[in-house]
Amino acid sequence: MGLMTEPVSENLIDRYLRARGRRYFRGQHDGEYFFLANAGPRRLHVHLEICRVHPDVFTLRVTPACFFPVADRARLTQFAKTWNRRNSAVSAIVHESSDPQRIGVIASKSQSIGGLVRFDDFAGFVDRTLAAAIDLFGALTPVPEAASMPLLRDAC
């Protein structure tokens, strides 16, 4: 299985996810896959995609299940800059959210895989990238939000 070469394809991603025992679903577009990964106290959303415009480019993006308060922008931006200087396995990117009070962090890695690839090489790339993303979010310690208003009230 690992000695054969093949192009990056939906079949290759399907086989990888099944080989790793992942429960996953396909995205709206061909070549998009999503699954959840438990990483310590965090649940991470993992997105694997073959670029529609450049089908030899494979991208893996990982995000935590929650966004961060916009007040943490400076801290998160500094964290991302420091991470990116020290690590090349995955890039940390701070991004806007549809909620102006929240911002997000993405761990991302794209790889041009021209021609054919062995399954084991592809699986190793995904495994290493996912491990680096887990390390990134493990190092990103959350700062507790100051509760301005209680989210739940007693029913009594």
Q: List the one residue out of 45, 64, 58, 53 whose CA is nearest residue 12.
A: 58
Tens of pLDDT, residues 34-72: 999 988 778 899 999 998 888 889 999 999 988 999 999
Q: Which two tokens stand for residue 85?
A: 């200087």
Question: Residue with structure tokens 């493990």?
Answer: 138
Question: What is the CB neighbour count within 10 angstroms for residue 2?
Answer: 10
Q: Convert the pLDDT of each residue in 71-122 to its tens digit.
A: 999 999 999 999 999 999 999 999 999 999 999 999 999 998 878 899 999 9
Closest CA to 50 of 82, 26, 80: 26
